[in-house]
């Protein structure tokens, strides 16, 4: 068998007609490599409470259901919903900043841990916005 025939056959064994990889059996005793589970980092905590998330999600579903009968109204309602969500998130961050500023203005020492948590939350939100 020539080198060209071998490489063509090897290529055919690695993919099928839909370019999906073909699963090969692992030699006996060889363990499957798995990535360790990542712990939930504070920066990946939800930005909203479960109740708030449920409320916004419910409103979104209602908008989607209404699209068939009233597409124009659904788009207007979607705009309002997104604006409400953005205002809610902005208020949440503003409240946190005001809490920290009250501590500073009152002469209280703000712990480095409180500042780290606040900055981590900002970074997480920033990263989520940019990755969307």
Per-residue pLDDT tens digits for 82-93: 999 999 999 999
- pTM of the shown model: 0.60
Give the integer Cα–Cα distance in Å for 50 and 87: 18
- CB neighbours of 85 closer than 8 A, spacing ≥ 6? 56
Read off the tokens for 9: 């056959």
Could you report the per-residue pLDDT of 8-32, keeping only the tens digit for each? 334 333 334 444 444 444 445 545 5
Give the integer Cα–Cα distance in Å for 117 and 126: 14
Read off the tokens for 35: 């990535």
More confident residue, 81 or 112: 81
Band of pLDDT at residue 62, cut at 50, 70 and 90: very high
Q: Where are the beta strands (DSSP E) in the chain?
A: none
Q: Is residue 47 a contact partner of residue 89, using CB atoms and an 8 Å limit? A: yes
């Amino acid at each position: 068998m020539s080198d060209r025939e071998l490489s063509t056959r090897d290529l055919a064994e690695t993919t099928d007609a839909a370019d999906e990889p073909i699963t090969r059996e692992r030699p006996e005793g060889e363990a499957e490599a798995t990535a360790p589970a990542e712990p939930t980092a504070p920066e990946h905590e939800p930005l909203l409470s479960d109740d708030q998330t449920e409320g916004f999600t419910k409103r979104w579903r209602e908008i989607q259901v209404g699209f068939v009968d009233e597409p124009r109204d659904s788009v207007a309602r979607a705009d309002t919903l997104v604006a409400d969500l953005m205002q809610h998130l902005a208020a949440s961050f503003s409240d946190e900043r005001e809490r920290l500023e009250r501590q500073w203005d009152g002469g209280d020492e703000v712990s480095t841990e409180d500042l780290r948590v606040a900055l981590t939350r900002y970074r997480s939100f920033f990263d989520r916005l940019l990755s969307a």
